[in-house]
Amino acid sequence: MQYRAAIFDLDGTLVDTLEDLAISVNEMLESYGFPTHPLDEYRYYLGNGSKKLIERTLPKEKAADEAFVIEAMKRYQAIYEHHRDHTGPFPGIQAMLDALKAKGIPMGVCTNKHQQAADEIIGGMFPAGTFTTVMGDCPGLPIKPDPKK
């Protein structure tokens, strides 16, 4: 089979971000005086972007308040910018990417992580030019998978 391109998710596919995401959300929750969650529970909270992560981790009455969710999400994103201590590529990922690149297969990343964080993680963990495109969560574009399709 001849591949023309390879597009990867970021969190949980190329890089292990679980612990830093959990630390960041728990710090956001603590800042409001809310209970935090154990690391293992975050495996069930992830997927569908930052907003869903925040909705799933907030107390129920706060998760139903759209304005509060947006505020909490912004607070979380500001905190997350400073937590990359435990994030890194999964074993074998770089070798796989190198093999694809050697075959001339262009590669991209499509993630629900906000664009700035996606760019910083890709730029800090993979050689320049590994990916031709990095597409993160951007205002006006649907998250993946698009819930309307």
Which of 114, 106, 125 is CA-nearest to residue 14?
A: 125
Q: Which amino acid is at 137?
A: D
Catalytically annotated residue among 9, 65, 85, 119: 9
- Judged by phi (left if over 0) then psi (alpha if -120 to 50, else beta), residue 135 lies in beta
CA distances from 21 to 2, 42, 100, 107 (A): 36, 8, 29, 25
146 is catalytic: no
**Which amino acid is present at 100?**
L
Query: Beta-carbon neighbour count of residue 54 at 10 Å?
Result: 25
Active-site residues, by number, are 9
